[in-house]
Structure 1
Amino acid sequence: MSKIQNIGVLTSGGDAPGMNAAIRAVVRASLYYKLKVTGVLRGYEGLINADFIPMDEKSVANIIQRGGTMLKTARCNEFKTPEGRAKAYENLMASEINALVVIGGDGTFIGADIFSQEYNFPIIGLPGTIDNDLEGTDLTIGYDTAINTVVSAVDKIRDTAESHDRFFIVEVMGRDSGLIALRSGIGVGAEAILIPEAKTGIDDLIERVKHGRKDKSSKIIVVAEGDEAGGAYNVGEILKNKFPHHDIRVSVLGHIQRGGSPSCADRVLASRLGVAAVEGLLEGKTKVMAGQVNKEIVFTPFSRTTKHIDAMQITPAWLKLAEILSL
């Protein structure tokens, strides 16, 4: 018989579309199983400050379509210290919260893993990050929305690029992972895609531009912010110096990739994983992330989920596909 009676739920790290859908699922699944559920505001900072709110059905009404997170999010350096985690544990005990669902990325799970081991506290994580860079799930909550946001933005940029015969260097998020750049780059028909994993290099890009189709007066080059070329502005300056006769512009999409109403795919994924997290806690699971692999729910230890992916999604086949389609 599970001793869990009150589940706390929080969002931590960078926000991602679909986090509200995940919160909603955790709350409603908890209530379905006759449990109390408590919202923790601003992630681990809220644990340390005892910033807790009781939640019920009405708390999560009309939020599934909203981007961001109703519980707010923050990065908390104090939680990285033993003293900070001790405060968090004391507050959880005082509020009779005896399990947690944490929604976030690798930093969130590293903190959860340490805390759970120190205090033998039941925690299950949900993969909420637009980067899709966690093991143990085919897709993370927010990734589908983010790449569709990029595709929509770059389609508009393509219109003006063709109207003015311009080259556009478009930077997308992905400090350590090029999955957003790779998938969206293929989706928009980019002439080149620069990602950290491929090590394409600026020299290869220059050769592509130099020997590319002469009748193609506009080009879209998608660059992940963490690419070794140094980001879109650096790539743009290099190309301007090498090809002064081309009209080269830079566009950094930035935080629009984090916002907006989540796609149906993200809403359904978040909903399914939120319910799975509550059921997993009741079954005695802890120190794991709930994910979806081949359409099935799986639970992966925190220690195996965190960065970086084993390139299972950035294979030579994907890179070859991008090269073939860029002709």
Structure 2
Amino acid sequence: MKVAVLTSGGVAPGMNAAVRAAGQAAFARGWEAVVVEDGYYGLLEGEIRPVKRPELWGLVQQGGTALGTGRSSEFEEGEGGKEKALDRLREAGVGGIVVIGGGGSLAGGLELDERGLPTVGVPATIDNDIPGTELSIGVDTALNTAVAVIDRIKDTATAHRRAMVVGVLGRDSGYLAVMSAIAGGADATIVPEFDTEPQELLDLLNESYEKGKPRFTVVVAEGASPTAEGFCEFVNEAGGGYQADLTTLGHIQSGGTPTAFDRVLAARLGAAAVEALADDANGTMVALSGDSIERVPLKKVAGQKRPLDPDLYRLAGVLSALPER
């Protein structure tokens, strides 16, 4: 059997480790492995090539994705694009494909599977918004990156007695913001899933200043309202005790060397995806459930978002002394 491996969507640290694991698992079964470069865009362009074992050496510790990633409106929007993708894979002799990526990428994998090409998905997104899996590849690395920045910012904030507003990724999900606020000991967090009243937060900030707290740290998700920039301006225009400074992490969170946890998770999921193909358990996503790797139907994943756990948000509030909501 010839297995293809594709990465698509946003970059997540550990994608390369998953590619390596899928390739090695295929070779261990005596199968052939090919890779699709530049995601679904590359698939439509026929960018499919064989891969050999030596090419996989060293991938486990590399950030990003060596295969490249690219979305394709032609694939997403039209039936013709999906049929073209299938034709490209069939011309290459591919009998099954492993799709590594976020929700949109996995939805594309479901389209391929429903049209007759056995497909298994591997969740990889730093937003951790894919349902059915406790963690996606890349989340642990992104979280550690954010916490390291918050720890360093606290040193400067304390020295200057300032409020630091830290913007993290998460257009539709506040998972990274909440978890980095908890782990980094931040004083408040603003996320898309829950409303935040700027004046209420400013009152807390000023109360902290009056009680002699040397700093105040707010972690804001990318898609939250107010935005990180907006809240920083609000604080400075109000003229309270603290002067506020803004630090936006941006895509620094989606790059860098993956943590050991992400490498192991990627290895387990990548190999499990090939095993699922071997068991004719296609149309599934391999997922972390407790200590086990489970198979979740792609139909339950495609087009869905994992909600932010309200208990985690409440915990962040308790630990940072936010008013009860």
Aligned match of 2:319: 325
Following superposition, the deviation at residue 211 of structure 1 comes to 2.9
Cα distance in structure 2, aligned partners of 1:298 and 1:191: 37
Aligned match of 1:93: 90
Q: Which amino acid aligns with 1:92?
A: L
Structure 1 spans left out of the alignment, 5+ residues = none
State yes or no: 1:300 paired with 2:300: no
Q: Which amino acid aligns with 1:84?
A: G
Q: The residue matched to 2:61 in structure 1 has which SS?
A: coil
Cα distance in structure 2, aligned partners of 1:163 and 1:171: 21
Following superposition, the deviation at residue 244 of structure 1 comes to 4.8
Cα distance in structure 1, aligned partners of 2:89 and 2:70: 18
Following superposition, the deviation at residue 74 of structure 1 comes to 1.0
Q: Which amino acid aligns with 1:97?
A: V
Q: How does 1:126-145 map to 2 (within 5 A)?
A: 126-145=122-141
Q: The residue matched to 1:64 in structure 2 has which SS?
A: helix
State yes or no: 1:233 paired with 2:229: yes
Aligned match of 2:242: 246
Structure 2 spans left out of the alignment, 5+ residues = none
Cα distance in structure 1, aligned partners of 2:248 and 2:206: 24
Pick from 67, 72, 75 the counterpart of residue 68 of structure 2. 72
Q: Would you say the 8 A contact 2:22–2:271 is kept in 1? A: yes
Cα distance in structure 2, aligned partners of 1:204 and 1:267: 41
What per-residue deviation string (whole Å, max 9, x for no partner) do you get for residues 147-193 of structure 1? 00001111111111111111111000001110100011111111111
Following superposition, the deviation at residue 208 of structure 1 comes to 1.6
Q: Would you say the 8 A contact 2:95–2:117 is kept in 1? A: yes
Pick from 141, 146, 149 the counterpart of residue 142 of structure 2. 146
Aligned match of 1:224: 221
State yes or no: 1:177 paired with 2:173: yes
State yes or no: 1:38 paired with 2:42: no
Following superposition, the deviation at residue 206 of structure 1 comes to 2.0
Residues 212-221 or 258-267, more deviating: 212-221
Following superposition, the deviation at residue 213 of structure 1 comes to 5.1
Following superposition, the deviation at residue 305 of structure 1 comes to 2.0
Q: Would you say the 8 A contact 2:208–2:216 is kept in 1? A: no
Q: Would you say the 8 A contact 1:136–1:298 is kept in 2? A: no
Cα distance in structure 2, aligned partners of 1:206 and 1:102: 45
What per-residue deviation string (whole Å, max 9, x for no partner) do you get for residues 176-219 of structure 1? 11010001111111111111122233233123223335201311
The two structures, once aligned, show a CA RMSD in angstroms of 1.3
**Pairs aligned (count):** 318
Cα distance in structure 2, aligned partners of 1:319 and 1:105: 23
- TM superposition score normalised by structure 2: 0.95
State yes or no: 1:270 paired with 2:266: yes
Aligned match of 2:101: 104
Q: How does 1:58-69 map to 2 (within 5 A)?
A: 58-69=54-65
Following superposition, the deviation at residue 245 of structure 1 comes to 4.6
Give structure 1 regions of 4+ aligned residues with deviation exceeding 3 angstroms: none
Cα distance in structure 2, aligned partners of 1:322 and 1:138: 19
Q: Which amino acid aligns with 1:36?
A: E
Q: Which amino acid aligns with 2:101?
A: G
Cα distance in structure 2, aligned partners of 1:185 and 1:246: 19
Q: Would you say the 8 A contact 1:201–1:228 is kept in 2? A: no
Cα distance in structure 2, aligned partners of 1:310 and 1:189: 23
Aligned match of 1:207: 203
- Percent of pairs identical after alignment? 38
State yes or no: 1:259 paired with 2:255: yes
Cα distance in structure 1, aligned partners of 2:253 and 2:133: 21
